[in-house]
């Protein structure tokens, strides 16, 4: 079964069971300040899991683009990926355990062809927060999964969420299928850790909301959230060791082989890094991320530069990133039209970053010469310290191997252990930084964030009025304290323009206009003059929020009820976000 057949089979199956297909949300979460990237299919659905009505209904299905950076340093082994696709089906307060498990069972046995004897499952063992899930186990047994193939595990294994520190979560039941090899012993199963049993699907019974105080409150509606990794299941279905060996990467590796002269780049760590990072980078740029020094832009820069460094190790000469991106665009453009539509931007950004990095490397070579020059020629023990080798790595992107090679030419050695030590220390620091970002939990839909979200709509409309109709949202990020809005516009705003925009927004707030929401088709919304980034993300029906005569915008919500609830609006900062994109930070009250 190909990945495409898998995607189609999944979508068709759930559609035939009353699910509406929704489009993949972008890789950069909208209105979620605490996560840099969309990490699971449920992530963009959080408002709907906690009670907001979804315009497409209560049963949803999709293929969601996801990016997880936690294992970025692991990429290069045969298994880890940063970017991946996740199949998911959801019940928003509709069906619960019985139907979810039955649907999963049917898809696995009828569509993917697994004999029920080849499926093992795990269920939540129970703890002080939530009872043992004998109900889920009972449902599996009623479908013919023998009790011996069901095991109970604790929170670490059989609980999912919240994606951040707070938000919807719950016990889950996970499905495993065996690799074609002998059991490790009589107890071989999902819990034994020998690797024979591969987790391919997860049904989460999202019935709790974890609060900031760490309490688990029952949600008003019990939901189902499921996730099945396209890459992993495709590899499994084809009897392959990993996604790298499937058609998902075949074209990319063929191009890498052609460019490098290495006949088998899949077998090489560098080859896998180039393939994985170039695929992820292409998708990130398609979703509006540009290489930069902070947040998503920094992650993208790291991916591109690591790919370039590894490409050199592999023997690729000259500019190459756009050549690989072209393969990604050609192979994924039909499944993800935004990738095809952004082809020009993808090439431009990659080309620019590659040039920039080449310059940096050149500076690094000069810095290297300076470092060497500082060591007196008569010293016998010619060593470049670990600290300096790490400095070259961190600032100029010099892989240790490159520094070692250049050092050797000059009769120097490199303190490799010292380098590893400095590298590890840095990793710990950046990991701590990343964890900080995730600490706040998912965007809470408190009144404050709802008010700031409404203010964002007013700001968007006012910017279009003052600067022109070319202004469109390029990104939005809301915390309980402030809003941050990125929009397309070439020039720095003048103080007069900023004052004018503030005045228009404050005028709309003063008028205390009702904020109303209606569901309509994308076409009708556009015809009524609604603006918004969301395209047809939500399928046929979309929500349109109207704020009196001030704003009409397609959006998932939630919002304040009246503009008067917003309080005085103040722009704190207007700055460049990236080329052609400006960024405004603003507060209320
Ligand atoms: N959110 C769950 C996961 O990522 C199920 O989709 O596994």
Q: How far is the CA of 477 from the centre of ligand 1 (A)?
A: 23
Ligand 1 pocket test, pick from 89, 200, 226 with the greatest ligand atom count within 8 Å of Cβ, gives 226
pLDDT digits (tens, 9 = 90+) for 465-519: 999 999 988 888 888 789 999 999 999 999 999 999 999 999 999 999 999 988 8
pLDDT digits (tens, 9 = 90+) for 400-435: 877 888 898 888 999 999 999 988 888 776 655 544
For residue 334, the model assigns a pLDDT of 93
CA diameter of the chain: 81
Please state the domain extents for the chain: 3-240, 246-353, 374-439, 447-588
Ligand 1 atom having least distance to the Cα of 39: 4
Find out whether the beta carbon of 228 lies less than 6 Å from any atom of ligand 1.
Answer: no
Residue nearest to atom 3 of ligand 1 (CA): 227
Distance CA 330, CA 309 (A): 24
Of the pLDDT bands very low, low, confident and very high (cuts 50, 70, 90), residue 288 is very high
pLDDT at 234 over 60: yes
Token pair, residue 340, equals: 């095809």
pLDDT digits (tens, 9 = 90+) for 298-320: 889 989 988 998 898 899 999 99
Distance CA 484, CA 500 (A): 18
Q: How far is CA 584 from CA 266, 494, 578, in A?
A: 44, 13, 12
pLDDT digits (tens, 9 = 90+) for 73-123: 788 888 899 999 999 999 999 999 999 999 999 999 999 999 999 999 999
Ramachandran angles phi, psi of 314, nearest 5°: -80, -10
224 HSE (CA, 13 A, CB side): 26
Find out whether the beta carbon of 555 lies less than 6 Å from any atom of ligand 1.
Answer: no
Task: Choose among 469, 478, 440: nearest CA to 556.
Answer: 478
Ligand 1 atom having least distance to the Cα of 40: 4
Q: How far is the CA of 224 from the centre of ligand 1 (A)?
A: 10
pLDDT at 164 over 50: yes
CA 267 to chain centre: 27
For residue 71, the model assigns a pLDDT of 79
Burial of 32 (0-12, 13-18, 19+ CB in 10 A): buried
Of the pLDDT bands very low, low, confident and very high (cuts 50, 70, 90), residue 445 is low
Find out whether the beta carbon of 202 lies less than 6 Å from any atom of ligand 1.
Answer: yes
pLDDT digits (tens, 9 = 90+) for 246-287: 999 999 999 999 999 999 999 999 999 999 999 999 999 999
What CATH number has the domain spanning 3-240?
A: 3.30.930.10
Strands of 473-478's sheet in order across: 473-478, 483-488, 581-588, 569-578
Q: What angle do CA 442, 61, 162 make, to 5 degrees?
A: 20
- The strand pairing partners of 178, in sequence order, are 197
Distance CA 536, CA 554 (A): 10
Find out whether the beta carbon of 41 lies less than 6 Å from any atom of ligand 1.
Answer: yes
Distance CA 15, CA 89 (A): 10
Ligand 1 pocket test, pick from 67, 88, 161 with the greatest ligand atom count within 8 Å of Cβ, gives 88
For residue 433, the model assigns a pLDDT of 52
SS3 400: helix
Burial of 9 (0-12, 13-18, 19+ CB in 10 A): middle
Ligand 1 atom having least distance to the Cα of 203: 5
Task: Choose among 79, 76, 10: nearest CA to 235.
Answer: 79
pLDDT at 436 over 70: no
Rg from Cα positions in the chain: 26
Query: For residue 24, what is the DSSP state?
Result: P
Give the DSSP H or E segment for 582: strand 581-588
Q: Identify the weakest region by mean pLDDT among 156-165, 295-304, 389-398, 484-493.
A: 389-398
Residue nearest to atom 6 of ligand 1 (CA): 227
**pTM, rounded to two decimals:** 0.74
Distance CA 257, CA 247 (A): 15
DSSP state string for 296-328:
HHHHHHHHHHHHHHHHHHHT--S--HHHHHHHH
The two beta strands, 120-124 and 150-153, are parallel
Give the 3-state secondary structure of 535-571: CCCCCCEEEEEEECCCEEEECCCCCCCEHHHHCCEEE
Find out whether the beta carbon of 62 lies less than 6 Å from any atom of ligand 1.
Answer: no
Residue nearest to atom 4 of ligand 1 (CA): 40
* Neighbouring C-beta atoms of residue 494, cutoff 10 Å: 11
Q: How far is the CA of 42 from the centre of ligand 1 (A)?
A: 7
Q: How far is the CA of 228 from the centre of ligand 1 (A)?
A: 8
Strand ranges in 453-556 using DSSP code E only, listed in sequence order: 473-478, 483-488, 515-521, 541-547, 551-554
Query: For residue 263, what is the DSSP state?
Result: S
Q: How far is the CA of 360 from the centre of ligand 1 (A)?
A: 40
Q: Contact 325/347 with Cβ under 8 angstroms?
A: yes
Ligand 1 pocket test, pick from 70, 86, 103 with the greatest ligand atom count within 8 Å of Cβ, gives 86
Q: How far is the CA of 206 from the centre of ligand 1 (A)?
A: 10
Token pair, residue 49, equals: 């899991």
Ligand 1 pocket test, pick from 68, 174, 202, 203 with the greatest ligand atom count within 8 Å of Cβ, gives 202
Q: How far is the CA of 235 from the centre of ligand 1 (A)?
A: 19
pLDDT digits (tens, 9 = 90+) for 171-199: 999 999 999 999 998 889 999 889 899 99
Q: How far is the CA of 577 from the centre of ligand 1 (A)?
A: 32
Topology (CATH level 3) of domain 447-588: 3.30.980
Find out whether the beta carbon of 226 lies less than 6 Å from any atom of ligand 1.
Answer: yes
SS3 477: strand
Share of residues in the chain with pLDDT > 70 (%)? 95
Q: How far is the CA of 431 from the centre of ligand 1 (A)?
A: 22
Of the pLDDT bands very low, low, confident and very high (cuts 50, 70, 90), residue 437 is very low
Residue nearest to atom 7 of ligand 1 (CA): 227
Q: How far is CA 487 from CA 331, 537, 573, in A?
A: 30, 20, 14
The two beta strands, 216-229 and 383-384, are unpaired
Find out whether the beta carbon of 204 lies less than 6 Å from any atom of ligand 1.
Answer: yes
Burial of 186 (0-12, 13-18, 19+ CB in 10 A): exposed
Q: Contact 121/177 with Cβ under 8 angstroms?
A: no
- Token pair 């998911």 is found at 88
Residue nearest to atom 2 of ligand 1 (CA): 227
């Amino acid at each position: 079964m190909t990945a495409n057949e898998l995607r189609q089979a999944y979508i068709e199956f759930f559609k035939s069971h009353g699910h509406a297909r929704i489009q993949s949300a972008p890789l950069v979460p909208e209105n979620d300040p605490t996560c840099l990237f969309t990490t699971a299919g449920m992530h963009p659905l959080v408002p709907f899991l906690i009670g907001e009505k979804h315009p497409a209904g209560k049963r949803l299905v999709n293929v969601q683009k996801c990016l997880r950076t936690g294992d970025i340093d692991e990429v290069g082994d045969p298994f880890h990926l940063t970017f991946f696709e996740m199949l998911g089906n959801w019940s928003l307060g509709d069906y619960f355990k019985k139907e979810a498990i039955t649907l999963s069972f049917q898809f696995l046995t009828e569509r993917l062809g697994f004999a029920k004897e080849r499926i093992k499952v795990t269920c939540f063992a129970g703890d002080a927060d939530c009872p043992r899930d004998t109900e889920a186990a009972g449902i599996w047994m009623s479908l013919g999964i023998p009790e011996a193939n069901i095991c109970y595990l604790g929170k670490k294994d059989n609980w999912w969420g919240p994606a951040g520190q707070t938000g919807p979560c719950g016990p889950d039941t996970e499905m495993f299928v065996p690799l074609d090899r002998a059991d490790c012993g009589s107890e071989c199963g999902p819990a034994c850790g020998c690797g024979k049993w591969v987790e391919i699907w997860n049904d989460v019974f999202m019935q709790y909301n974890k609060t900031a105080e760490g309490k688990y409150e029952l949600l008003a509606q019990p939901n189902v959230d499921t996730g099945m990794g396209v890459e992993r299941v495709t590899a499994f279905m084809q009897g392959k060791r990993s996604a790298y060996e499937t058609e998902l990467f075949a074209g990319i590796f063929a191009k890498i082989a052609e460019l490098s002269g290495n006949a088998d780049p899949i077998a090489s760590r560098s080859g896998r890094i180039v393939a994985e990072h170039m695929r992820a980078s292409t998708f990130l740029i398609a979703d509006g991320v540009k290489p930069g020094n902070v947040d998503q832009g920094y992650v993208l820069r790291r991916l591109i530069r690591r790919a370039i460094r590894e490409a050199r190790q592999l023997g690729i000469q000259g500019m190459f990133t756009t050549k690989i991106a072209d393969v990604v665009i050609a192979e994924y453009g039909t499944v993800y039209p935004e990738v095809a539509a952004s082809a020009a931007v993808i090439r431009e950004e990659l080309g620019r970053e590659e040039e920039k990095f080449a310059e940096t490397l050149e500076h690094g070579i000069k810095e290297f010469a300076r470092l060497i020059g500082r060591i007196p020629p008569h010293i016998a023990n010619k060593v470049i310290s670990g600290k300096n080798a790490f400095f070259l790595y961190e600032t100029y992107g010099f892989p240790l191997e490159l520094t070692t090679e250049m050092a050797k030419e000059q009769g120097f050695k490199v303190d490799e252990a010292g380098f590893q030590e400095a590298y590890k220390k840095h990793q710990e620091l950046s990991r701590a930084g990343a964890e900080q970002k995730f600490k706040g939990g998912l965007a809470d839909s408190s009144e404050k964030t709802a008010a700031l979200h409404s203010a964002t709509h007013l700001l968007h409309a006012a910017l279009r009025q003052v600067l022109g109709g070319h202004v469109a949202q390029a990104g939005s990020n809301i915390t309980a304290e402030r809003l941050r809005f990125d929009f397309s516009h070439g020039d720095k705003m003048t103080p007069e323009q900023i004052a004018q925009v503030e005045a228009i927004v404050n005028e709309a707030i003063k008028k205390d206009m009702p904020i109303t929401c209606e569901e309509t088709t994308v076409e009708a919304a556009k015809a009524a003059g609604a603006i918004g980034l969301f395209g047809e993300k939500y399928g046929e029906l979309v929500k349109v929020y109207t704020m009196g005569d001030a704003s009409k915008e397609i959006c998932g919500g939630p919002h304040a009820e009246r503009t008067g609830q917003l309080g005085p609006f103040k722009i704190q900062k207007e700055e460049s976000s990236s080329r052609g994109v400006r960024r405004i930070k603003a507060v209320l009250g």
